[in-house]
Structure 1
Amino acid sequence: MNQKIRHQIFTRWRAENPHPTTELEYNSPFELLIAVILSAQATDVGVNKATRKLYPVANTPETIFSLGLDGLKSYIKTIGLYNTKAENVIKTCQMLIEHHSSIVPDTREALEALPGVGRKTANVVLNTAFGQPTMAVDTHIFRVGNRTRIAPGKNVLEVEQKLLKVIPKEFMLDAHHWMILHGRYVCIARKPKCGSCLIEDLCEYKEKTEIDSE
């Protein structure tokens, strides 16, 4: 795929959705951080259901830490892997209190040092909370990058590095949101909805579906 086509793809996505953002609900960098930690191998819908009950009660490092492990688990037990996630969230809150004055850091190194925070989570927080042009490659972006040939790669890091290199700078800040939404609702895993795809004529996927699949 050449740069002219990539530019057209992102131009169309921007025209359709000028201000994309995460579907996780949050009102502060801390709320976003916790929501992203909870979202690993879980849906945004499921995480939002839990945080709608949790955040009115506890939405700072101190208040969540004071809930304790069992207290936190009672709010997030509907989310997959909640035992491990609860431990990570409590430890993260403790680290934020002790080492960062309860403020979410805005550097990759500091974020990735927090329990339960890997490269993808750090990228989401850096991009969405702090406006940094990072690329958080999840399964949706990995699939879209490879299927469309915008940025093919053997693993998530390869796709991330390629996207950072080939996405035109004017689209970089919002690019990962457009790609996630495209993968979540149009270029779905089992059978992509090529018939109703905004970029069907620009995509280089060889096995396009003839009609919009339900």
Structure 2
Amino acid sequence: MNREKRTEIFRRLRAQRPHPTTELNYDTPFELLVAVVLSAQATDVGVNKATDRLFPVANTPEAILALGVDGLKEYIKTIGLFNSKANNVIKLCEQLLAFHGGEVPRDRAALEALPGVGRKTANVVLNTAFGEPTIAVDTHIFRVSNRTRIAPGKNVNEVEQRLLRVVPEEFKRDCHHWLILHGRYTCVARKPKCGECIIADLCEFPRSQRPT
């Protein structure tokens, strides 16, 4: 796929969603960090249901530590893997207080050193909370990037690195959100909605494989 085609794809995605953002509910970088940690192998809708109950009660490291592991589990037990996630969030809060004054660091290495935080989570926080032009590749973005041929790769790291190379600078900050929302609602896994896709004529997904 050439630069001109990619540029037009992102122009259309930007026109469709001029101000894209995460569908996780949050008000502070800390709330976002906790929500993203909880969202692993879970839906944003499911996480929001839990955090809509949790955050009014505890939305700082100190307040969550005061709940303790068992108290936190009561709020997030509807989310998959809640036992390990509760342990990670508690340890994460301890480290934020011990090493970062209770604040979420604006640094990749510091974020990835926190329990339960990998590269994807760090990218989401850096992008969404701090406006960095990072690109967090999840299953939706991996699928869209490969299916459209915007940035094909064998694994999430390959796709991330290619996106960082080929996405024009003006689109990098919002690229993550445009691709994830496109994958969530249009370029879905089992039967992509090619008939209502705004970039169908630019997409390099073989027409013989497109649903009729």
Q: TM-score range by the shorter chain?
A: over 0.9
1:132-171 mapped onto 2 (5 Å cutoff): 132-171=132-171
Which residue does 1:25 correspond to in 2?
Answer: 25
Q: Which TM-score applies when normalising by structure 1?
A: 0.98
Residue 111 of structure 1 deviates from its aligned partner by 0.1
RMSD between aligned alpha carbons?
0.4
Q: What amino acid does structure 2 have at the position aligned with 1:92?
A: L
User: What does residue 209 of structure 1 align with?
Assistant: 211
Q: Which amino acid aligns with 2:151?
A: A
- Give the Å deviation of 1:208: 1.5
Give the residue type in structure 2 aligned to 1:65.
L
Deviation at 1:19, TM superposition (A): 0.3
| Structure 1 position 100, deviation (Å) | 0.3
CA distance in 2, matches of 1:171, 1:24: 21
Provide the rounded CA distance (Å) in 2 between the counterparts of 1:17 and 1:185.
13
Deviations 1:103-154 (A, max 9, x none): 0000000000000000000000000000000000000000000000000000
Write the letter of the residue equivalent to 2:3. Q
Q: What is the TM-score when the length of structure 2 is the normalising length? A: 0.99
Query: CA separation in 2, counterparts of 1:189 and 1:108?
Result: 30
Instruction: Please state if 1:49 is matched with 2:80.
Output: no
SS at match of 2:64: helix
Letter in 1 for 2:8: Q
Q: CA offset at residue 209 of structure 1?
A: 1.8
List runs of 5+ in structure 2 lacking aligned partners.
none
* Residues 57-79 of structure 1 deviation map (CA, whole Å, 9 limit, x = unaligned): 00000000110000000000000
What does residue 88 of structure 2 align with?
88
Deviation per residue, 1:8-36 (Å, 9 max, x gap): 00000001110000000000000000000
What SS is found at the alignment partner of 1:164?
helix
Aligned position for 1:124: 124
Count, aligned residues: 210
* Separation in structure 1 between the aligned mates of residue 159 and residue 142 of structure 2, nearest angstrom: 7
Letter in 1 for 2:102: S
Output the CA distance in 2 between the equivalents of 1:48 and 1:70.
Answer: 20
Report SS of the residue matched to 1:66: helix
Residue 145 of structure 2 corresponds to residue 178 of structure 1: no
- For structure 1, list consecutive stretches of 5 or more residues without a partner in the other structure: none
For 1:14 and 1:189, the matched residues in 2 are separated by 22
Q: Which amino acid aligns with 1:78?
A: T
Match of 2:67 in 1: 67
Partner residue, 2:97:
97
Which residue pairs with 1:200 in the alignment? 200
Corresponding position of 2:16: 16
Quote the sequence identity (%).
71
